Structure 1
Amino acid sequence: MPHAPGPVSRALREAPPDQLVEAADRAVRSALDASRTDVFIADYRISGLWPVLDPELPDAGFLACHTVAQRCFSSQQPVADTDERGRCRLYLPLTVWGERLGVMLIELDRTPDAGTVERAADIAGDLAVALRAADRETDRYRRVRRRERLTMAAEMQWDLLPGRSVAQAAFLLAGQLEPAYTVGGDHFDWSVDGDRLTVTVLNGAGSGLAASLLTAVSVNAMRNARRSGGSLTEQAELASDTIFYQHRGARHVPTLLLELDTRTGRARAVDAGSPHLLRLRAGAVDRIELEQQLPLGMFAEIRYAAQEFEVAPGDRLFVVSDGVYAAEPAGREAYGGRAMARAMRSTRLQPATEAVGTVMRELHAYHADVDLRDDAVVVCLDWRGSAGHDGGWQR
């Protein structure tokens, strides 16, 4: 069915940032003759999806929606749920550049044909772009996203993040911070520029607001060098000098800097401290051994060297902070000893966006679901190969 999504896009552009969901509701009712819509947004821990238009939805109705919405969110595919009277609930992923925001619900009095589903998916795509842009102008959607109050340190960390996932034909990248509502200094950052993907993971020093401030200085120094055309080593060196001349060696930040040529799979890395780099290939998890150099900010004028290694199509790379690798709850062996590798192997058939959650859930289970004693970061990168698919390789 030929269609022109112009009217819906126009309605979203003209709507105030805090009224995007209402504007989409009106536009979808008109364009698709829908009886109801809603938007579900993923919370900070990606443990649930929460309604925006109807936050007081009765529990039974919410749970019925939530189960199917979660399936749509996980699969990133439209999911239709039709009742015995032929009424259909159509769930569509709200995703922009690989960043999973949530799910859009559209209720119809009929089973939609392929053209209607395609048109609805276009509308959901337009809404996802608008929602991401609106986050700079309104707090409404962030309020839905948080299920409890953030600490000041966590507020700063989440605002500093580039997102929680990003995708192109050649790769899928995702990351997660825990404990989501109280995280202090652990952090990740990334940037996509042509065929170059840059990823940094910081094992934040200290706790609370002081840790988040140190991380913010480190991340922005590396961004400053990167945005000025600086190499991976220059990014590390500017951040290190900035931290040292502010704290004179009393504070430092273990950091892993990684750069991947998404065309060839050639990777370069600077291991400035403790984050661990692991590879899942053919069902086996192996640590990629790098020369461990001094953490950022330990001494003045530190010079760093980058190492190179190859990534094969279908490879999955994990970067984890010490809060994951070295976690030793209740006197047990470190999570990174054996349990972490088992968790990583169990993600073999999951996309990177689901894999980070699996590793984190297993970490919580390893702690017997008590609060984590240290910040934890998991970043997962799948390189599909220059053709943009994994060609059937098994991890």
Structure 2
Amino acid sequence: MAMTESERRARKVMVDRSEGFGERLLGMLLDRAHEMPPQLIAPLVAEEVARVGGRDVSILLQDYGQLVLAPLPGRGLVVGGSESIDGSSAGRAFLRATPVEEPQADGVRMFLPLLDGSDQVGVMAVTLDAVDDDDRRLLRRLAGLVADMLVTKSSYTDQFFRARRRERMSVAAEIQWSLLPPLIMVTPQVAVAGILEPAYDVAGDSFDYALNDDIVHLAVIDAMGHGLNAAVLATVAIGAYRHARRADIGLAELYAFMDAAVDEQFGPDHFVTAQMARLDVRSGVLRWVNAGHPAPLLIRDHRVVQALESPGTLPVGFGGDEPQIGEEELRRGDRVLFFTDGLVEEHESGGEQFGEKRLIDFIERAGRPSEGIQEMARRLSHALMRERGGVTSDDATLFLLEWRGGTADHLATMDP
């Protein structure tokens, strides 16, 4: 039976949600989390939510295909069906990285994004009798701590990986997912987002990135072949890229190091197409090497204004000449789409290839002025997959880079 308004007010008075109480609550949770085994995260979170008058806690994790939010099973959690990322309250909270409140007969259902840094892990849902600013502040901070716990503890268990899977995954895809950095990074100056298709059977495609001081380093690769052989080749290429990147050498030298590593390990009959790029987040200057990939597309005001053509070199492993470096000065708000050829070369049996022109049409039709970079990447990838009839004979990767400019120094300054 639903509570009366007076009963809700009375219960509200009994629960202390002030900032001092919240700090103590989060502190206790953090203290207990250090040694906690992964399977006890769920009951701990349910207990802490109950302390602030919440109930019916659910933790929803993004599936590998970026289509649904899948429930994490656990003692104390409400485990229902998966929530579609498109068209649900949980999905809105996830994509917009902001809490969503849904009034219900017995209170308010809150959907809070689980953010590890800027990477969207999933959503925590909880019901309260009523919601005020103290609740919103405390639950937002609690959700942030839960996200950190899930990411940290995922290194010790398969439980979270299993919850995210909607279908069987190939061994090659298992390897590729273990290589990937977080699918999204957002800072005041720059944002990136990537997506792989087919999520559960990808083999040779991969991407990597790192933000080192004022430089974003990124690479998109496509190893030749299919299945496990392609995954092993991609693993060596990404490992060589990271090693060279961390040695802080130039783009031309980085290409040469990757080329030598692939050739030494696999011989002259194996290769990896690749793009390696660097963006100066202060100036917006983008530099890149293209080793056999389609030219990246520059998106400005939600329209493709040009392909970033540059003198290419041979794929990694073929011993190409020293590459020439492409350069483009971006404007604030510009996005650059890097992609592998599987995105545009796919075609139905006997039909024409999908083609770059249709890709550009989809970019300009699928984009929305207010959507974030992750939403654009997944919406574009899924639209292209639907256009191809839901199947692909080759891996397809999208990687979006957005330059925002400005500075992040204010984040290192405490308010007085």
Q: TM-score, normalized by length of structure 1?
A: 0.91
SS in structure 2 at match of 1:313: coil
Three-state SS of the structure 2 residue aligned to 1:82 is strand
Q: 1:1-395 residue pairs with structure 2 within 5 A? A: 1-3=18-20, 4=23, 5-30=26-51, 32-53=52-73, 57=79, 67-85=88-106, 87-108=107-128, 110-285=129-304, 286-299=306-319, 302-345=321-364, 346-349=366-369, 350-369=371-390, 371-387=391-407
CA shift digits 1:103-134 (9 cap, x unpaired): 001121x2210121111010111111111111
Partner SS, residue 21 of structure 1? helix
Superposed displacement of residue 227, structure 1: 1.3
Q: C-alpha separation between the residues in 1 aligned to 2:170 and 2:258?
A: 25
Residue pair 2:194, 2:397 contacting (<8 A) in 1 also? yes
Query: Structure 1 regions of 5+ residues with no counterpart?
Result: 389-395
CA contact (8 A) 1:255 1:275 kept: no
CA distance in 2, matches of 1:56, 1:331: 49
Q: Distance in 1 between matches of 2:209 and 2:379?
A: 21
Give the drift of 1:231. Answer: 2.3
Report the alpha carbon displacement of residue 223 of structure 1 after superposing the two structures with TM: 0.4
- Residues 282-318 of structure 1 show CA distances to partners (whole Å, capped at 9, x for unaligned) of 342121111111110112x743332221111010111
How many residues were matched structurally? 382
Q: Is the 8 A contact 2:313 2:321 kept in 1?
A: no
- Which residue type is aligned with residue 44 of structure 1? Y
Q: Distance in 1 between matches of 2:341 and 2:120?
A: 26
**Aligned-partner SS, 1:125:** helix
- What's the TM-score, normalizing by structure 2? 0.87
* Shift in alpha-carbon separation, 1:379–1:338, aligned structure 2, 3 A: same
Structure 2 unaligned spans of 5+? 1-17, 409-416
The one-letter code matched in structure 2 to 1:365 is R
SS at match of 2:41: helix
Q: Which moved more, 1:3-12 or 1:359-368?
A: 3-12
Q: CA, structure 1 residues 187+95, in 2 after alignment: closer, same or farther (shift >3 Å)?
A: same
One-letter code aligned to 1:79: V
- Report deviation, 1:325: 2.1
Structure 1 residues 42 and 62: CA distance shift in structure 2, 3 A: closer
Q: Which moved more, 1:174-183 or 1:97-106?
A: 97-106
Deviation at residue 275 of structure 1 after TM alignment: 4.1
Q: 1:67: Cα distance to partner?
A: 2.3
Q: What secondary structure does 1:149 align onto?
A: coil
CA displacement 1:328-347 (0-9 Å, x = unmatched)? 23444432332211221121
Q: Deviation per CA, 1:55-84, whole angstroms, max 9, x where unpaired?
A: 98455x9789x9221121122110111213
Q: Which amino acid aligns with 2:373?
A: A
Alignment-mate amino acid for residue 202 of structure 2: V
8 Å Cα contact 1:265/1:312 also seen in 2:
yes
Aligned residue type for 1:78: P
Corresponding residue SS for 1:263: coil
Cα 1:97–1:187 shift into 2, 3 Å: same
Structure 1 residue 190: Cα displacement: 0.5
> Residue by residue, what CA displacement relative to the aligned partner does 1:142-167 show, whole Å, maximum 9, x if unpaired?
00011112111000000000121111
Contact 1:320 1:377 in 2 (8 A): yes
Structure 1 vs Structure 2: percent identity of aligned residues? 28
Secondary structure of the equivalent of 2:231? Answer: helix
CA spacing shift, 1:352–1:283, aligned 2, 3 Å: closer
Query: Within 2, Cα distance between the matches of 1:255 and 1:363?
Result: 22
Question: Structure 2: how far apart are the matches of 1:62 and 1:327?
Answer: 30
SS at structure 2 position matched to 1:135: helix
* Distance in structure 1 (CA, Å) of the matches to 2:332 and 2:362: 21
Taking a change above 3 Å as real, the CA distance of residues 228 and 387 of structure 1, as seen in their structure-2 partners, is closer
CA displacement, residues 251-304 of structure 1 (integer Å, 9 cap, x when unaligned): 0101000100111101110111114310111342121111111110112x7433
Is residue 91–residue 104 contact of structure 1 (8 Å, CA) maintained in 2?
yes
Residue 22 of structure 1 aligns with an amino acid whose one-letter code is: P
Distance 1:7 1:292 in 2: 56
**Which has the higher mean CA deviation after the structures are superposed, 207-216 or 74-83?**
74-83
